[in-house]
Structure formats: structure tokens, C-alpha cells
């Protein structure tokens, strides 16, 4: 069976490790500066931002029912596929992962999802889109949902992209960490040679 690579680019700090990579690329929310094939949006706040700032994309947008209703209300000229069922409390990257799995991707790379190994729920979207207060333990729920995705799809290879020197959370033999050096760590490593 031929490997089909799906790439999820979330909003967390580890998004910075993404370098243009072969595969089907999904960006979450407003990360349109990154080359991508599809945008995934489940919350109304990014749609509000798109409307207020008159943004357009020529890429397909995967949405939740709530986000799709707002797109229709604002009559935004976006190509939309409503595919995220928000009755389940998955986050945007998790919904994107489930959609990639439904498209038969056999390998999935995950960037910008720092709650997979830490309690860091910051987002590069926070400066653009104010969001309601979050429960500070929400990352625990997200990890449990990631664990379910990984366990239910043991035949899939998942790669979590993270910084070096983290405490890796064990998710199973089909989930591996690809650890990256920061730019300064790379410079220090090169000068020590």
C-alpha cells in the first residue's frame, strides 16, 4: 500500500518547526501564510475575523455546522465542506486529523499541538482573535481525545513534532516524536563541531 502523508499545522508554539514538506497540508484557522491545501475552522471567532478583515482564500475550508452557518450568514465567498461534528469535544487539529484519516492518509505529521506533551494552550491566533477563558486543565481532555484517535488508528503512523528536551507523553507504538532544535540550539550545535 502506498503511503499517503497528511500534515496538520496547528496554532501552538511548535508550529515554528514546520518546513514545507511533501503531503496534504491542513492549516488550522488563519495560518494562511503557510502553504496549504485546506483550511480547518470549527469556531465562529475566526469566521468573524475573516468577515471583519475581508479575507479570502481560494482553498477549501473544512468547517463545523456553527462556523458554516456564520459563513452563510455573512455570505462569504469561500468553498466550504461541512465535515466537523462539534457534538464531540475535539479541538480543531483533532477534527482535521479525523478528516485526514477518513481520506485514507497512512502517515500523519502533527505540528503546533503543544498540549500533546505540555500544558501550553497558547495559540498564535491569540493576538488576532480574543477567545473566552479556557479551563486550565483543558489540555488533559485534549490528550485523552488524542489518545483515542491514536489507539483507534493503530495502523497509522503519527509523528508529533516538538522541541528537544521535553517529557514525551507515551501514546503507543504508532506515535513517534520528531524533536527539533531551535535556531539558537542549531547555531550552538554547529559551533561545537
Tens digits of residue pLDDT in 103-123: 999 999 999 999 999 999 999
Residue 188: per-residue pLDDT: 66
Contact 173, 151 (CB under 8 A): no
Q: What is the pLDDT of residue 167?
A: 95
Q: Please state which of the ranges 35-44, 74-83, 174-183 shows the lowest mean pLDDT.
A: 174-183
The whole-number pLDDT of residue 19 equals 92
3-state secondary structure the chain: CCCCEEEEECCCHHHHHCCCCCCEEEEECCCCCCCCCEEEECCHHHHHHHHHCCCCCCCEEEECHHHHHHHHHHCCCCCEEECCCCCCCCCHHHHHHHHHHHCCCCEEEEECCHHHCCCCCCCCCCCCCCCCCCCCCHHHHHHHHHHHHHHHCCCCEEEEEEECCCCCCCCCCCEEEEEECCHHHHHHHHHCC
pLDDT of 2 = 59
Question: How confident is the model over 28-36, as a mean pLDDT?
Answer: 94
Report the alpha-carbon distance of residue 180 to residue 182 in Å, rounded.
Answer: 7
Cell of 116: 500533546
pLDDT band at 187 (very low <50, low <70, confident <90, very high): low
Mean pLDDT of 87-103: 93
The whole domain housing 161 covers 5-191
The pLDDT score that the predictor gives to residue 1 is 47
Task: Give me the percent of the chain exceeding a pLDDT of 90.
Answer: 79
Give the model confidence (pLDDT) of 118-177 as tens digits: 999 999 988 888 877 778 889 999 999 999 999 999 999 999 999 999 999 999 999 999
Total tally of structural domains belonging to the chain: 1
pTM of the model: 0.92
How would residue 86 be classed by pLDDT, with cut points 50, 70 and 90?
Answer: low
- The stretch 80-98 carries a mean pLDDT of 89
Model pLDDT, residue 131? 75
Question: Is 183 a residue whose pLDDT tops 90?
Answer: no
Residue 119: name the closest of 91, 143, 89, 154 by CA: 143
**161 is written with which cell numbers?**
513534532
Amino acid at each position: 500500500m502506498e503511503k499517503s502523508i497528511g500534515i496538520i499545522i496547528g496554532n501552538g508554539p511548535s508550529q515554528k518547526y514546520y518546513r514545507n514538506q511533501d503531503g496534504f497540508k491542513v492549516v488550522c484557522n488563519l495560518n494562511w501564510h503557510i502553504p496549504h491545501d485546506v483550511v480547518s475552522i470549527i469556531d465562529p471567532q475566526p469566521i468573524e475575523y475573516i468577515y471583519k478583515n475581508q479575507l479570502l482564500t481560494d482553498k477549501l475550508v473544512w468547517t463545523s455546522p456553527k462556523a458554516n452557518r456564520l459563513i452563510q450568514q455573512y455570505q462569504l465567498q469561500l468553498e466550504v465542506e461541512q465535515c466537523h461534528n462539534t457534538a464531540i469535544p475535539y479541538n480543531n487539529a483533532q477534527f482535521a486529523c479525523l478528516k485526514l484519516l477518513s481520506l485514507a492518509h497512512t502517515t500523519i505529521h502533527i505540528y503546533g499541538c503543544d498540549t500533546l506533551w505540555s500544558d501550553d494552550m497558547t495559540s498564535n491566533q491569540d493576538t488576532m482573535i480574543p477567545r473566552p477563558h479556557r479551563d486550565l486543565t483543558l489540555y488533559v481532555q485534549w490528550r485523552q481525545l488524542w489518545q483515542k484517535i491514536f489507539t483507534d488508528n493503530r495502523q497509522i503512523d503519527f509523528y508529533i513534532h516538538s522541541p528537544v528536551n521535553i517529557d514525551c507523553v507515551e501514546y503507543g507504538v504508532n506515535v513517534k516524536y520528531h524533536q527539533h532544535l531551535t535556531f539558537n540550539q542549531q547555531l550552538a550545535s554547529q559551533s561545537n563541531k
